[in-house]
Amino acid sequence: MLFDSHMAVLLDAGVSLVNALTDGEARGRPYTAPRGADLCAAVDAALPGGTASGPRAIEPGQAAALARTAQELRRVFEAVSADRIDDAVVALNPLLRSSGARPQLDRAAGEPWQVHFHGADDSLAVGWSAGCATGLAMVIGGDLAGRLGVCQGTRCDRVYVDTSRNAARQFCSTACQNRAKAAAFRTRRAQESG
């Protein structure tokens, strides 16, 4: 297992926040991140811990803060993906500082103690900013930066964390993987018939 369960949650949340809250391209189409009330719903969907009884009431200020965090996290993914690790650190260290990221031992009832990462306060935005930033810091500092990626699909810049055994992931989704396969097939067929 590459990451423990808490790290996996933080990394998944970071990926979800970047992919939901930053403009760019997704799976071949332009992508505009939601604004206003839609932003609150997008934050709720991106973060774990929602309840089956309905969406959480995410305050607009908290959602806006997490949208800014998502921009910072995107800079980290893009820098690492371009082999500019130093630039990733320049983007990440200020987020660790501003969120007051710190470790704390927590446990669920009946479970063993686990190191969790909290922020300077327990607000949604500060807590998740600290957690997601620490997750990326542990990956980069643990010599696993190659596990952070930006989709190689055409017209797609969504990000991912590669947890595959052989560390060969290139795409954000099976949709992009299938698009690339189809394009390669068309190219081959054109070459054969030409």
Under a CB-based contact definition with an 8 Å cutoff, are residues 193 and 182 in contact? Answer: no
Per CB under 5 A, the list member of 18, 20, 156, 159 interacting with Zn ion is 156
Per CB under 5 A, the list member of 9, 65, 151, 161 interacting with Zn ion is 151
Quote the distance between the C-alpha of residue 134 and its chain's center: 12
Region near Zn ion per CB under 5 A, out of 36-44, 55-63, 115-123, 157-165:
157-165
State how far the Cα of 186 lies from the Cα of 11, in Å rounded to an integer.
35
All residues at 6 or more sequence positions from 141 whose CB lies less than 8 Å from its CB, including other chains: none
State how far the Cα of 49 lies from the Cα of 45, in Å rounded to an integer.
9
Q: Is 153 in the site for Zn ion (CB under 5 A)?
A: yes
Strand pairing partners for 103?
Answer: 117
Closest contact distance (angstroms) between CB of 8 and Zn ion is 21
Q: Is 18 in the site for Zn ion (CB under 5 A)?
A: no
Closest contact distance (angstroms) between CB of 22 and Zn ion is 13
Strand pairing partners for 29?
Answer: 26
Region near Zn ion per CB under 5 A, out of 33-41, 96-104, 133-141, 153-161:
153-161
- For residue 29, which phi and psi values (nearest 5 degrees)? -130, 155
Q: Is 24 in the site for Zn ion (CB under 5 A)?
A: no
Q: How many residues line the site for Zn ion (CB under 5 A)?
A: 6
Positions 56 through 115 that interact with Zn ion (CB under 5 A): none
Torsion of CA 35, 172, 80, 76, to 10 degrees: 20
Positions 161 through 190 that interact with Zn ion (CB under 5 A): 172, 176
Region near Zn ion per CB under 5 A, out of 55-63, 85-93, 143-151, 183-191:
143-151
Under a CB-based contact definition with an 8 Å cutoff, are residues 159 and 74 in contact? Answer: yes
Task: Kindly list the residues in this chain that would bind Zn ion in the complex (CB under 5 A).
Answer: 151, 153, 156, 158, 172, 176
